[in-house]
Amino acid sequence: MQKEPLKTESPEELQPEAAPKTMTLDVSKVQTPMRIDRYLTQQVENMTRNKVQAAIEEGRVLVNGKPVKSNYRVKSCDHIHLTFLRPPAPELAPEDIPITILYEDDDLMVIDKEAGMVVHPAFGNWTGTLANAILHHLGKDADELDKTEMRPGIVHRLDKDTSGLIIIAKNPTALHKLARQFANRQVEKVYKAIVWGVPKAESGTIKTNIGRSHKNRKVMANFPYEGAEGKHAITDYQVVEDLGYFSLMDVTLHTGRTHQIRVHLQHLGHSILGDETYGGATPRTLPFSKSEPFTRNLLELMSRQALHAQTLRFRQPTTGEPLSFSAPLPEDMELVLEKIRTVMTASQS
Protein backbone atom coordinates (compact mmCIF):
# COMPACT_ATOMS: atom_id res chain seq x y z
CA MET A 1 0.00 0.00 0.00
CA GLN A 2 1.31 3.42 -0.90
CA LYS A 3 2.31 5.48 2.12
CA GLU A 4 0.78 8.91 2.61
CA PRO A 5 3.25 11.81 2.74
CA LEU A 6 4.35 12.72 6.24
CA LYS A 7 2.49 15.63 7.86
CA THR A 8 3.93 18.38 10.01
CA GLU A 9 2.45 19.34 13.37
CA SER A 10 0.32 22.25 12.20
CA PRO A 11 -0.98 23.79 8.94
CA GLU A 12 1.31 26.79 9.40
CA GLU A 13 4.35 24.54 9.03
CA LEU A 14 3.32 23.13 5.66
CA GLN A 15 5.55 24.02 2.73
CA PRO A 16 4.10 25.58 -0.41
CA GLU A 17 2.93 23.11 -3.03
CA ALA A 18 5.70 21.86 -5.31
CA ALA A 19 5.70 23.04 -8.91
CA PRO A 20 3.36 21.04 -11.18
CA LYS A 21 4.89 18.31 -13.29
CA THR A 22 3.85 17.74 -16.89
CA MET A 23 4.07 14.61 -19.01
CA THR A 24 3.18 13.72 -22.58
CA LEU A 25 2.33 10.26 -23.86
CA ASP A 26 1.88 9.09 -27.44
CA VAL A 27 -0.39 6.07 -27.54
CA SER A 28 1.02 3.12 -29.49
CA LYS A 29 -0.21 2.41 -33.01
CA VAL A 30 -1.28 -1.07 -31.87
CA GLN A 31 -3.12 0.05 -28.71
CA THR A 32 -6.61 -1.43 -28.37
CA PRO A 33 -9.31 0.94 -27.03
CA MET A 34 -9.13 1.29 -23.22
CA ARG A 35 -10.61 3.69 -20.65
CA ILE A 36 -8.19 6.55 -20.17
CA ASP A 37 -8.22 6.31 -16.35
CA ARG A 38 -7.21 2.66 -16.55
CA TYR A 39 -4.64 3.34 -19.28
CA LEU A 40 -2.90 6.11 -17.34
CA THR A 41 -2.88 4.07 -14.14
CA GLN A 42 -0.94 1.40 -16.04
CA GLN A 43 1.39 3.80 -17.79
CA VAL A 44 2.39 6.30 -15.10
CA GLU A 45 4.53 5.31 -12.13
CA ASN A 46 3.00 5.86 -8.66
CA MET A 47 -0.32 6.85 -10.23
CA THR A 48 -3.59 5.54 -8.78
CA ARG A 49 -6.93 5.48 -10.54
CA ASN A 50 -8.35 7.98 -8.04
CA LYS A 51 -5.54 10.43 -8.80
CA VAL A 52 -6.09 10.04 -12.53
CA GLN A 53 -9.83 10.61 -12.20
CA ALA A 54 -9.25 13.72 -10.07
CA ALA A 55 -6.85 15.11 -12.68
CA ILE A 56 -9.39 14.42 -15.44
CA GLU A 57 -12.20 16.15 -13.49
CA GLU A 58 -9.97 19.22 -12.96
CA GLY A 59 -9.13 19.43 -16.68
CA ARG A 60 -5.49 18.47 -16.25
CA VAL A 61 -5.64 15.63 -18.80
CA LEU A 62 -5.86 16.60 -22.46
CA VAL A 63 -6.20 14.20 -25.37
CA ASN A 64 -5.24 15.66 -28.73
CA GLY A 65 -5.43 19.10 -27.08
CA LYS A 66 -8.92 18.70 -25.58
CA PRO A 67 -10.15 17.73 -22.08
CA VAL A 68 -11.87 14.36 -21.78
CA LYS A 69 -13.95 12.40 -19.28
CA SER A 70 -12.80 9.35 -17.33
CA ASN A 71 -14.73 7.01 -19.60
CA TYR A 72 -12.95 8.26 -22.74
CA ARG A 73 -11.37 5.31 -24.52
CA VAL A 74 -7.84 5.94 -25.76
CA LYS A 75 -7.15 4.99 -29.36
CA SER A 76 -3.99 4.33 -31.34
CA CYS A 77 -1.86 7.43 -31.93
CA ASP A 78 -3.73 9.60 -29.38
CA HIS A 79 -1.52 12.32 -27.91
CA ILE A 80 -2.04 12.74 -24.14
CA HIS A 81 -0.83 15.69 -22.05
CA LEU A 82 -0.99 15.46 -18.23
CA THR A 83 -0.34 17.98 -15.48
CA PHE A 84 0.29 16.66 -11.96
CA LEU A 85 -0.11 18.74 -8.81
CA ARG A 86 2.58 17.46 -6.49
CA PRO A 87 2.35 17.77 -2.71
CA PRO A 88 5.42 19.09 -0.91
CA ALA A 89 8.00 16.53 0.09
CA PRO A 90 8.54 16.14 3.83
CA GLU A 91 11.90 17.15 5.22
CA LEU A 92 14.46 14.37 4.93
CA ALA A 93 15.08 13.13 8.48
CA PRO A 94 17.71 10.87 10.05
CA GLU A 95 16.49 7.39 10.98
CA ASP A 96 18.30 4.78 13.06
CA ILE A 97 18.21 2.01 10.45
CA PRO A 98 20.90 -0.70 10.52
CA ILE A 99 23.19 -0.65 7.49
CA THR A 100 26.23 -2.78 6.64
CA ILE A 101 29.26 -0.54 6.05
CA LEU A 102 32.16 -2.39 4.42
CA TYR A 103 34.48 0.61 4.23
CA GLU A 104 34.56 4.22 5.41
CA ASP A 105 37.03 7.10 5.25
CA ASP A 106 36.76 10.91 5.37
CA ASP A 107 35.30 11.05 1.85
CA LEU A 108 33.07 8.06 1.34
CA MET A 109 31.36 4.91 2.55
CA VAL A 110 30.82 1.62 0.74
CA ILE A 111 27.59 -0.01 1.91
CA ASP A 112 26.26 -3.51 1.28
CA LYS A 113 22.57 -2.67 0.75
CA GLU A 114 20.03 -5.33 1.60
CA ALA A 115 17.26 -6.21 -0.84
CA GLY A 116 14.00 -4.38 -0.15
CA MET A 117 15.60 -1.09 0.91
CA VAL A 118 14.81 1.97 -1.21
CA VAL A 119 17.91 4.08 -1.87
CA HIS A 120 16.39 7.55 -1.57
CA PRO A 121 12.93 8.95 -0.74
CA ALA A 122 10.41 9.63 -3.47
CA PHE A 123 6.63 9.79 -3.73
CA GLY A 124 5.32 6.66 -2.05
CA ASN A 125 8.52 5.96 -0.08
CA TRP A 126 9.27 8.86 2.24
CA THR A 127 10.88 6.97 5.12
CA GLY A 128 12.95 3.88 5.80
CA THR A 129 15.36 4.59 2.95
CA LEU A 130 19.12 4.34 2.72
CA ALA A 131 19.27 8.15 2.60
CA ASN A 132 17.53 8.35 6.00
CA ALA A 133 20.00 5.84 7.42
CA ILE A 134 22.98 7.78 6.00
CA LEU A 135 21.89 11.00 7.72
CA HIS A 136 21.66 9.18 11.06
CA HIS A 137 25.05 7.56 10.64
CA LEU A 138 26.82 10.78 9.67
CA GLY A 139 25.14 12.93 12.31
CA LYS A 140 26.33 16.54 12.19
CA ASP A 141 28.71 15.70 9.33
CA ALA A 142 25.65 15.25 7.10
CA ASP A 143 25.17 19.04 7.20
CA GLU A 144 27.76 19.28 4.40
CA LEU A 145 25.56 17.30 2.04
CA ASP A 146 22.89 18.74 -0.24
CA LYS A 147 19.53 17.36 0.88
CA THR A 148 17.36 19.44 -1.42
CA GLU A 149 16.80 16.55 -3.86
CA MET A 150 16.49 13.93 -1.10
CA ARG A 151 19.72 12.21 -2.26
CA PRO A 152 22.43 13.19 0.23
CA GLY A 153 25.75 11.78 -0.91
CA ILE A 154 24.20 9.23 -3.25
CA VAL A 155 26.46 8.83 -6.28
CA HIS A 156 24.61 6.00 -8.04
CA ARG A 157 21.52 3.85 -7.48
CA LEU A 158 20.46 0.28 -6.96
CA ASP A 159 16.89 -0.87 -7.51
CA LYS A 160 14.90 -1.50 -4.33
CA ASP A 161 15.02 -5.28 -4.77
CA THR A 162 18.64 -5.47 -5.93
CA SER A 163 21.11 -6.14 -3.14
CA GLY A 164 24.78 -5.26 -2.93
CA LEU A 165 27.40 -2.54 -3.04
CA ILE A 166 26.70 1.17 -3.29
CA ILE A 167 29.05 4.15 -2.80
CA ILE A 168 28.04 7.11 -0.62
CA ALA A 169 29.97 10.39 -0.73
CA LYS A 170 30.42 12.23 2.60
CA ASN A 171 31.13 15.70 1.21
CA PRO A 172 30.36 17.70 -1.95
CA THR A 173 33.91 17.47 -3.36
CA ALA A 174 33.95 13.69 -3.08
CA LEU A 175 30.47 13.52 -4.60
CA HIS A 176 31.59 15.55 -7.62
CA LYS A 177 34.76 13.52 -8.18
CA LEU A 178 33.01 10.17 -7.79
CA ALA A 179 30.21 11.24 -10.11
CA ARG A 180 32.84 12.16 -12.69
CA GLN A 181 34.38 8.69 -12.42
CA PHE A 182 30.97 7.17 -13.14
CA ALA A 183 30.37 9.55 -16.06
CA ASN A 184 33.77 8.69 -17.54
CA ARG A 185 33.11 4.94 -17.08
CA GLN A 186 36.05 4.59 -14.71
CA VAL A 187 34.08 2.61 -12.14
CA GLU A 188 33.93 -1.16 -12.59
CA LYS A 189 30.64 -2.70 -11.45
CA VAL A 190 30.16 -6.47 -11.54
CA TYR A 191 26.88 -8.11 -10.56
CA LYS A 192 25.89 -11.70 -9.88
CA ALA A 193 22.61 -12.87 -11.40
CA ILE A 194 20.71 -16.16 -11.41
CA VAL A 195 18.82 -16.49 -14.68
CA TRP A 196 16.46 -18.90 -16.38
CA GLY A 197 18.21 -21.13 -18.92
CA VAL A 198 21.76 -21.29 -20.25
CA PRO A 199 22.89 -18.92 -23.02
CA LYS A 200 24.26 -20.51 -26.20
CA ALA A 201 27.39 -18.38 -25.89
CA GLU A 202 29.25 -18.71 -22.59
CA SER A 203 30.08 -15.01 -22.69
CA GLY A 204 29.14 -12.01 -24.76
CA THR A 205 28.21 -8.35 -24.97
CA ILE A 206 24.67 -7.00 -25.22
CA LYS A 207 24.23 -3.68 -26.99
CA THR A 208 20.86 -2.00 -27.38
CA ASN A 209 19.28 1.35 -26.74
CA ILE A 210 17.11 1.39 -23.61
CA GLY A 211 14.10 3.66 -23.16
CA ARG A 212 10.55 3.71 -21.83
CA SER A 213 8.31 1.01 -23.28
CA HIS A 214 5.65 2.19 -25.70
CA LYS A 215 3.20 -0.30 -24.20
CA ASN A 216 3.85 0.47 -20.54
CA ARG A 217 5.86 3.52 -19.49
CA LYS A 218 6.48 2.05 -16.03
CA VAL A 219 8.96 -0.39 -17.57
CA MET A 220 11.96 -0.10 -19.86
CA ALA A 221 12.41 -1.64 -23.30
CA ASN A 222 15.15 -2.39 -25.80
CA PHE A 223 15.44 -0.47 -29.07
CA PRO A 224 17.99 -0.77 -31.92
CA TYR A 225 21.46 0.27 -30.80
CA GLU A 226 21.99 2.69 -33.65
CA GLY A 227 18.39 3.94 -33.60
CA ALA A 228 16.94 7.24 -32.47
CA GLU A 229 14.93 5.89 -29.53
CA GLY A 230 16.36 5.35 -26.07
CA LYS A 231 19.97 5.68 -24.91
CA HIS A 232 22.97 3.48 -25.68
CA ALA A 233 23.39 0.61 -23.18
CA ILE A 234 26.25 -1.91 -23.08
CA THR A 235 26.44 -4.98 -20.84
CA ASP A 236 28.96 -7.85 -20.73
CA TYR A 237 27.97 -11.24 -19.36
CA GLN A 238 29.87 -14.39 -18.42
CA VAL A 239 28.32 -17.71 -17.38
CA VAL A 240 30.03 -18.60 -14.11
CA GLU A 241 28.09 -21.81 -13.48
CA ASP A 242 25.94 -23.86 -15.86
CA LEU A 243 23.10 -25.18 -13.69
CA GLY A 244 21.28 -27.15 -16.36
CA TYR A 245 18.11 -25.11 -16.70
CA PHE A 246 19.52 -22.07 -14.91
CA SER A 247 22.78 -20.12 -14.94
CA LEU A 248 24.80 -18.13 -12.44
CA MET A 249 26.28 -15.16 -14.28
CA ASP A 250 28.76 -12.36 -13.83
CA VAL A 251 27.33 -9.22 -15.42
CA THR A 252 29.44 -6.10 -15.99
CA LEU A 253 27.89 -2.71 -16.72
CA HIS A 254 29.53 -0.26 -19.10
CA THR A 255 26.62 2.19 -18.96
CA GLY A 256 24.11 2.95 -16.21
CA ARG A 257 20.61 2.89 -17.69
CA THR A 258 17.49 2.29 -15.61
CA HIS A 259 16.94 -1.47 -15.12
CA GLN A 260 19.77 -2.10 -17.61
CA ILE A 261 20.80 -5.60 -16.51
CA ARG A 262 17.23 -6.78 -16.11
CA VAL A 263 16.20 -5.45 -19.53
CA HIS A 264 19.31 -6.76 -21.29
CA LEU A 265 19.05 -10.27 -19.85
CA GLN A 266 15.40 -10.39 -20.89
CA HIS A 267 16.55 -9.32 -24.37
CA LEU A 268 19.09 -12.17 -24.33
CA GLY A 269 16.22 -14.57 -23.60
CA HIS A 270 17.34 -15.34 -20.06
CA SER A 271 15.31 -13.29 -17.59
CA ILE A 272 16.52 -12.99 -14.01
CA LEU A 273 14.89 -15.47 -11.65
CA GLY A 274 12.19 -13.74 -9.58
CA ASP A 275 12.00 -10.59 -11.74
CA GLU A 276 8.28 -9.79 -11.89
CA THR A 277 8.70 -6.89 -14.29
CA TYR A 278 10.85 -8.56 -16.92
CA GLY A 279 9.49 -12.08 -17.20
CA GLY A 280 11.32 -14.01 -14.50
CA ALA A 281 8.67 -14.59 -11.83
CA THR A 282 6.34 -17.16 -13.43
CA PRO A 283 6.71 -20.89 -12.59
CA ARG A 284 7.86 -22.94 -15.57
CA THR A 285 7.64 -26.56 -16.64
CA LEU A 286 11.10 -28.00 -17.28
CA PRO A 287 11.85 -31.39 -18.88
CA PHE A 288 12.06 -33.43 -15.69
CA SER A 289 9.57 -34.85 -13.18
CA LYS A 290 7.79 -32.42 -10.82
CA SER A 291 9.59 -29.45 -12.32
CA GLU A 292 6.70 -26.99 -11.94
CA PRO A 293 6.39 -27.42 -8.13
CA PHE A 294 10.18 -27.11 -8.02
CA THR A 295 10.23 -23.79 -9.93
CA ARG A 296 7.29 -22.54 -7.87
CA ASN A 297 9.26 -23.30 -4.70
CA LEU A 298 12.30 -21.46 -6.11
CA LEU A 299 10.18 -18.36 -6.67
CA GLU A 300 8.87 -18.56 -3.11
CA LEU A 301 12.47 -18.60 -1.87
CA MET A 302 13.46 -15.84 -4.31
CA SER A 303 10.77 -13.23 -3.77
CA ARG A 304 12.70 -10.53 -5.70
CA GLN A 305 15.01 -10.46 -8.72
CA ALA A 306 18.09 -12.60 -8.08
CA LEU A 307 20.52 -9.76 -8.73
CA HIS A 308 23.39 -8.71 -6.47
CA ALA A 309 25.93 -5.90 -6.97
CA GLN A 310 28.94 -7.93 -5.87
CA THR A 311 32.06 -6.02 -6.93
CA LEU A 312 33.03 -2.33 -7.12
CA ARG A 313 36.36 -0.92 -8.25
CA PHE A 314 37.11 2.81 -8.36
CA ARG A 315 39.63 5.39 -7.15
CA GLN A 316 39.57 7.17 -3.83
CA PRO A 317 38.45 10.69 -4.81
CA THR A 318 41.15 12.57 -2.85
CA THR A 319 44.23 10.31 -3.03
CA GLY A 320 43.52 8.52 -6.33
CA GLU A 321 44.26 5.19 -4.63
CA PRO A 322 42.60 2.20 -6.35
CA LEU A 323 39.89 0.69 -4.17
CA SER A 324 38.21 -2.69 -4.66
CA PHE A 325 35.34 -4.23 -2.71
CA SER A 326 33.32 -7.41 -2.86
CA ALA A 327 30.11 -8.36 -1.04
CA PRO A 328 29.11 -12.00 -0.47
CA LEU A 329 25.93 -13.33 -2.03
CA PRO A 330 22.92 -12.75 0.23
CA GLU A 331 21.23 -15.67 1.95
CA ASP A 332 18.23 -15.88 -0.41
CA MET A 333 20.44 -16.28 -3.49
CA GLU A 334 22.66 -18.84 -1.75
CA LEU A 335 19.61 -20.89 -0.74
CA VAL A 336 18.25 -20.84 -4.28
CA LEU A 337 21.58 -21.91 -5.75
CA GLU A 338 21.85 -24.76 -3.24
CA LYS A 339 18.31 -25.91 -4.10
CA ILE A 340 18.99 -25.80 -7.85
CA ARG A 341 22.28 -27.68 -7.55
CA THR A 342 20.66 -30.42 -5.45
CA VAL A 343 17.66 -30.91 -7.75
CA MET A 344 19.70 -30.68 -10.97
CA THR A 345 22.14 -33.32 -9.68
CA ALA A 346 19.24 -35.61 -8.76
CA SER A 347 17.45 -35.10 -12.11
CA GLN A 348 20.59 -35.99 -14.08
CA SER A 349 21.38 -39.17 -12.13
**CA–CA separation, 48 and 53 (whole Å):** 9
H or E stretch including 39? helix 36-43
Give me the catalytic one of 78, 107, 112, 159. Answer: 159
Output the CA torsion 110→253→279→270 (10° steps).
-120
Q: Is 159 a catalytic residue?
A: yes
**CA-derived radius of gyration, the chain:** 22
> Which of 181, 184, 147 minimizes the C-alpha distance to 167?
181
Sign of CA dihedral 332, 128, 271, 190: negative
171, 145 Cβ separation under 8 angstroms: yes
**CA–CA separation, 85 and 100 (whole Å):** 37
Task: Tally helices (H) and strands (E) across the chain.
Answer: 7, 16
Strands, E, within 37-157: which ranges? Answer: 61-63, 66-67, 73-74, 79-84, 100-104, 108-113
* Catalytic sites, residue numbers: 159
